[in-house]
A and B are shown apart, each in its own frame.
Chain A
Amino acid sequence: EVQLVESGGGLVKPGGSLRLSCSASGFTFSNVWMSWVRQAPGKGLEWVGRIKSKTDGGTTDFVAPVRGRFAISRDDAKSTLSLQLNSLKTEDTAVYYCATDRWGAFDNWGQGTLVTVSS
């Protein structure tokens, strides 16, 4: 059974940093592209960014509002995905989900972790 478990969310002040983790199990993590999707309170879904498998180059891509502030990395040995959030803004407040990214679809999702940016 595929499991994705996010952690690391919390309350942070504007301008601060946070590192989210996503622990994966039940599939061969190294073979799969992974994405982060966020959802602001009461709002819709927004794709944040993606990291390809190392076989496919391991490159990352981000939505414009977070480009240059967020970074995605993966540790295939530990089946762990990370999202580094820097220079946080109040508008980054959201539940952050990690998801497997196959055939352009997010076929498995974690339960999400809440990031609150507030002074």
Chain B
Amino acid sequence: DIVVTQSPLSLPVTPGEPASISCRSSQSLLHGNGHNYLDWYLQKSGQSPQLLIYLGSTRASGVPDRFNGSGSGTDFTLKISRVEAEDVGVYYCMQALQTPRTFGPGTKVDI
């Protein structure tokens, strides 16, 4: 199985400031079609997870452009250009290259 790790596991943030989360996989997530099969999700307190980024860098519908995904192969980053209060929650990355799909442990972001 592909192991996915995240850092940091806890991230205090300041509104208006940038924030960054790192995600690493034990195997390359680059498919032969040129896409990296890495997703980012946000789970706000008491809510279901929501998709932020898929294929490494494609923003999901309705996701603000302050969220940006980057990286390739085994190293990926989610950057929030200017944190807003509503961005608090737990962020998960997940590899979608092969089954079983595996999630990272989550990064708790709070103000």
Contact = CB atoms under 8 A, between A and B. Distances in A.
B103 A111 contact: no
Nearest to B60: A107
Given A47-B102, A50-B99, A104 B92 contact: no
B101 interface: yes
A75 interface: no
Contacts of B41: 45, 106
B92 A106 contact: no
A88 B70 CA distance: 40
Given A104-B37, A104-B97, A107-B60, A97 B48 contact: yes
The A interface, classified by DSSP as helix, strand, loop or mixed, is strand
Contacts of A110: 48
A77 interface: no
B54 A47 contact: no
Contacts of B102: 47
B60 to A, nearest CB: 6
Nearest to B54: A105
A117 B82 CA distance: 42
Given A104-B55, A104-B97, A106-B39, A46 B49 contact: no
Interface in B52-88: 54-55, 60-61
A112 B48 contact: yes
B106 A107 contact: no
A35 B54 CA distance: 16
Given A44-B106, A47-B102, A104-B55, A109 B37 contact: no
- Enumerate the 9 nearest inter-chain pairs by beta-carbon distance, A residue then B residue, closest first: A104-B96, A105-B54, A47-B101, A109-B48, A63-B100, A45-B103, A105-B39, A61-B99, A104-B37
Interface of B: 1, 37, 39, 41, 43, 48-51, 54-55, 60-61, 90, 92, 94, 96-97, 99-106
